[in-house]
Chains A and B, each alone.
Chain A
Amino acid sequence: MREDNRKIGKVILWIVLIAVAVIQLFPLIWLVDFSLGSSNEMFTNGLLIIPEKIRWDNYVKAFVDGNFLHYLRNSVLINTLAVVLVVIISIMAAFACQRMKWKMSALVSTLLVMGMMIPIHATLLPNYKIYNMLHLTDTLWALLIPYVAFSMPQGMFLMTGFIQSLPKELEEAAVMDGCGIYRIVFQIVTPLLKPSIATVAIMTFLNNWNEFMMASTYLSTPTWKTLPFSVLEFTGEYSSNYAVQFAVMALTAAPAVIVYIILNKHITKGVAMGAVKG
């Protein structure tokens, strides 16, 4: 009797897990499936189609006309720069606020972390004005500055927590050996922060990789536009050719999904650490 119950339990468990997986994944399978057919084939009553002929040329069009490589290059460049800056700036500030002795350390620390509460989208209007005045629109800075600014509070928060947990003895020994502060920060403390650097890097990447609201507000020429614009600009151009639109969506999603699947374990760990602590 108990054995039977257990078996039924197992079956229910698998049904639940598979049902949720289907719900999460099916729209994406549908997307890839339709992206390989022709637009006429979409008007079917079935859930999926078997394309008469697999149309890779949809993807060729998406790749070329969607400016894929150019936008991908911009995304990689801007996000890498943002991650590096967020990590360096938050380690420096967190160290100064957490370890060094000065009167306003608590105040500055709170101020920098408080940025987490500010809704990004409320700054779209005034920032547009500011960047316009300083002629920063349509430059790399128009994205880099706000991306760094809105990922920094979380980076600062996480780094403060990690630096707090480091033993002070190491630094004391370094001081005895005549190390200056900068060497302590970058050569002694930073290497110990590796796991937290990974967490901050992953959170910063996830926050900014898919961002497009700021990008479409502060940029008007394609010079610095990022990957989401492959999709955003394409839909107008090919408004009636649905299959090609599906292809460009699948293509745009691909880099992040592939990287996620490869680094799945690290990313999962990073998100878990970042979110629970943040």
Chain B
Amino acid sequence: MKKLYSNKPVILSLVLPGLLVFLFAVLAPICLSVYYGFTDYSGMGEARLIGFDNYANLFHDSAFGRSLKNSLLLAIGFICIQHPLAILVAAVLDKLQGRAEGIFRCIYFIPNVISVAVIAYLWKFIYNPDFGLLNNIAKAFGHPGKINWLSQQNAIWSVLIVLIWHGFGWGMLIYYTGIKNIDPVLYEAASIDGANWWTTFMRITLPMMKPVIQINVTMAIISALKQMETVYLLTNGGPNNSTQFVANYLYQQAFKAFKYGYGNAIGVVFIIICVLATVTLNTIFKDKQEA
């Protein structure tokens, strides 16, 4: 057994496909990004090494700062609006029994299986100033309904609404599974003690859900950092970079502004930020779990 399980050629043959994919599609592009990040390459012609100039420029780039701020805003939106709602709805849904429970769960998740391409264009129409759904709803409440939802002031909030709406079902489903995994004996004990729904929720559901909440919060922050698709189609970072996100910005810099080198420098910083954020969040939550 031992001999069989330490056969080097066999091990190599099992690991090689995975390693090759990783080297070719993840590691190689990162190395290439690091190289181009040190150049002034425009996308055509010669690439000239310019040292840390790109990184120095990045420090003073207000659009990049705006991108990070927007990610932070989105993360706050997820954690303060989407997640509390998702936990509450999950807890309420858990109380419901029978067919209705499955139907509601199914409905809440539907937006998640729809392509971002459809979602983004659909919301563009919903925000449309002439015949959009939102202005029509405003009119139904007696408002003149001439709001420009994607103006420089409003756009970032409109983008946040779409993202919070779209991801709601995902968060809800994970909290719902977490609640289903709580030992029912705890709820029986609470009900014998005469605890009402709210007390049970605050004293049993929430504390028992701590690990699930931590995972979900981590994922929310990471996905807020990585946001690109919806913004790319809905506003493309505009007007005036007010809805810019890092991934979208590096793409624009490379392919629209022809600063391929600069785009790659942003990419390198972006990767570092994402890795640091993941590691930091995992460490914080691990320490807390042990304490």
Interface residues of A (CB under 8 A from B): 9, 13, 16-17, 20-21, 23-25, 27-28, 30-31, 42-47, 88-90, 92-93, 95-97, 99-102, 108, 111-112, 115-127, 129-130, 145-146, 148-150, 152, 156, 172, 175, 180-182, 185, 206, 209-210, 212-213, 217, 227-229, 231-232, 235, 242, 245-246, 249, 252-253, 256-257, 259-261, 264-265, 268, 271-272, 275-276
Given contacts A25-B110, A125-B263, A152-B22, 15 further A-B contacts (CB under 8 A): A9-B197, A24-B107, A96-B11, A101-B2, A112-B19, A117-B278, A118-B274, A122-B270, A123-B25, A126-B28, A148-B25, A232-B233, A242-B131, A245-B121, A268-B109
Residues of B close to A217: CB separation below 8 A: 255
A271 in contact with B14 (CB, 8 Å): no
B229 in contact with A212 (CB, 8 Å): yes
Residues of A close to B89: CB separation below 8 A: 16-17, 20
A28 in contact with B111 (CB, 8 Å): yes
Give A228 to B274 CA distance when docked, in angstroms. Answer: 27
A47 in contact with B140 (CB, 8 Å): yes
Chain B interfacial residues counted at CB < 8 A:
96
11 A-B residue pairs with Cβ-Cβ distance under 8 Å, sorted by A, are A20-B89, A24-B169, A92-B14, A92-B18, A111-B19, A112-B22, A123-B29, A125-B33, A212-B229, A228-B116, A245-B121
Output the residue of A88, A95, A122, A261 with the most chain B CB within 10 A.
Answer: A122
B32 in contact with A25 (CB, 8 Å): no
Question: Interface with A: B49-57, B59-67, B171-179, B183-191, which one?
Answer: B171-179
Q: Is the interface of A mostly helix, strand, loop or mixed?
A: helix
Report if A96-B15 is in contact (Cβ < 8 Å); known contacts: A28-B110, A276-B174, A276-B177.
yes
B109 in contact with A260 (CB, 8 Å): yes
B201 lies within 8 A of chain A by Cβ: no
Report if A206-B197 is in contact (Cβ < 8 Å); known contacts: A13-B96, A89-B21, A122-B33.
no
A17 in contact with B96 (CB, 8 Å): yes
Question: Interface with A: B72-80, B122-130, B147-155, B235-243, which one?
Answer: B122-130
For the complex formed, measure the closest distance between the CB of B202 and the CB atoms of chain A, giving whole angstroms: 16
Q: Is the interface of B mostly helix, strand, loop or mixed?
A: helix
A276 in contact with B21 (CB, 8 Å): no
B4 lies within 8 A of chain A by Cβ: yes
Residue in chain A with minimal CB distance to B86: A20
Give A271 to B105 CA distance when docked, in angstroms. Answer: 13
B264 lies within 8 A of chain A by Cβ: yes
B105 in contact with A268 (CB, 8 Å): yes
Give A123 to B26 CA distance when docked, in angstroms. Answer: 7
For the complex formed, measure the closest distance between the CB of B120 and the CB atoms of chain A, giving whole angstroms: 9
Residues of B close to A31: CB separation below 8 A: 122
B260 in contact with A264 (CB, 8 Å): no
B118 lies within 8 A of chain A by Cβ: yes
Report if A156-B18 is in contact (Cβ < 8 Å); known contacts: A9-B197, A261-B106.
yes
Residues of B close to A45: CB separation below 8 A: 136, 139-140
**Partner pick for B260 among A95, A125, A185, A261, CB 8 A cutoff:** A125
Residues of B close to A175: CB separation below 8 A: 1, 4
B 58-106 contacts with A by CB, 8 A: 85, 88-89, 92-93, 95-96, 100, 102, 104-106
Report if A121-B92 is in contact (Cβ < 8 Å); known contacts: A249-B122, A252-B118.
no
Residues of B close to A252: CB separation below 8 A: 115, 117-118
B275 in contact with A149 (CB, 8 Å): no
Give A45 to B143 CA distance when docked, in angstroms. Answer: 12
For the complex formed, measure the closest distance between the CB of B179 and the CB atoms of chain A, giving whole angstroms: 11
Report if A24-B111 is in contact (Cβ < 8 Å); known contacts: A45-B139, A271-B170.
yes
Report if A30-B21 is in contact (Cβ < 8 Å); known contacts: A47-B140, A118-B271.
no
B137 in contact with A47 (CB, 8 Å): yes
Give A21 to B102 CA distance when docked, in angstroms. Answer: 12
For the complex formed, measure the closest distance between the CB of B189 and the CB atoms of chain A, giving whole angstroms: 19
Residues of B close to A245: CB separation below 8 A: 121
Interface string of B24-45 (1 = CB under 8 A from A): 1110111011001000000000
Report if A101-B232 is in contact (Cβ < 8 Å); known contacts: A149-B22, A257-B110.
no
B18 in contact with A89 (CB, 8 Å): yes
Give A210 to B113 CA distance when docked, in angstroms. Answer: 8
B6 in contact with A102 (CB, 8 Å): yes
For the complex formed, measure the closest distance between the CB of B145 and the CB atoms of chain A, giving whole angstroms: 8
Residues of A close to B108: CB separation below 8 A: 20-21, 24
Residues of B close to A44: CB separation below 8 A: 131, 136
B29 in contact with A130 (CB, 8 Å): yes
Residues of B close to A123: CB separation below 8 A: 25-26, 29-30, 33, 267
Give A151 to B36 CA distance when docked, in angstroms. Answer: 26
Interface string of B252-266 (1 = CB under 8 A from A): 001100001001100
